[in-house]
């Protein structure tokens, strides 16, 4: 990858353990880091974010090479990995920290995000009204180190084996068939 041309995108699609693991498998993604954005407290902890009182969402910040994977492809993966019609939840994970949100850096990126939402809605992948927030990016706070690569380090943890693992298998099948995954 050409490190001079890397770009970043930050979004939340429920529990970051699910999202981060998948994005790190994609060709063109240099890194996907679990963290927090959108809140009012500097450097929040996981425990603070879980209360819902800091205003943060669990997010993943992705650094990628747009010559290898496009913004639109990343958005397609984003909408594949979570249900954008669920307000402040993903399955049994309930709270504002699990909201569907895209953090944009400028008007051009906001327009691309609006178009990605429209394309996804029109695809019929999810039934219902999309509730994905579009929010101006402010800050990203990396989550504690034990959250980084959490699924890879803890695949037999009950939540990982029941929720994250099946989601990753579905992701690998779909995006593997499209040739978008790094070789294992």
Identify the CA nearest to 13 among candidates 118, 96, 84.
84
Listed residue (169, 74, 117) closest to 177, CA to CA: 169
Summarize pLDDT for 52-61 with one digit per residue, the tens. 999 999 999 9
For the entire predicted model, the pTM comes to 0.94
75, 183, 178: which is closest to 130 by C-alpha? 75
Here the CATH number for the domain that contains residue 19 is 3.30.1060.10
- Tally of structural domains, the chain: 1
Identify whether 1 is part of a domain.
no
**By residue range, what is the domain housing residue 147?**
7-178
The two three-digit tokens of residue 147, written as one number: 């959250």
Q: Does residue 13 lie in a domain region?
A: yes
Query: Which is catalytic among the residues 15, 18, 22, 160?
Result: 15
Q: How far apart are CA 181 and CA 184, in angstroms?
A: 8
**Is 15 tagged catalytic?**
yes
What are the tens digits of pLDDT across the range 93-132? 999 999 999 999 999 999 999 999 999 999 999 999 999 9
Q: Does 2 reside within a domain?
A: no
């Amino acid at each position: 990858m050409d490190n001079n041309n890397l770009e970043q995108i930050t979004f939340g699609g429920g529990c970051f353990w699910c999202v981060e693991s998948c994005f790190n498998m994609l060709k063109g993604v240099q890194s996907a880091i679990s963290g927090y954005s959108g809140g009012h407290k500097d450097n929040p902890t996981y425990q603070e974010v879980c209360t819902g009182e800091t205003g943060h969402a669990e997010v993943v910040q992705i650094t990628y090479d747009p010559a290898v994977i496009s913004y639109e492809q990343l958005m397609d993966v984003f909408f594949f990995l979570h249900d954008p019609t669920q307000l402040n939840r993903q399955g049994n994970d309930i709270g504002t920290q699990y909201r569907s949100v895209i953090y944009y850096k400028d008007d051009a990126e906001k327009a691309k995000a609006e178009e990605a939402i429209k394309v996804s809605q029109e695809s019929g992948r999810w039934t219902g009204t999309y509730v994905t927030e579009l929010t101006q990016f402010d800050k990203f706070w990396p989550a504690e180190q034990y959250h980084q690569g959490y699924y890879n380090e803890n695949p037999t943890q009950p939540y990982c084996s029941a929720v994250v693992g099946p989601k990753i298998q579905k992701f690998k099948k779909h995006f593997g068939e499209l040739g978008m995954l790094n070789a294992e």
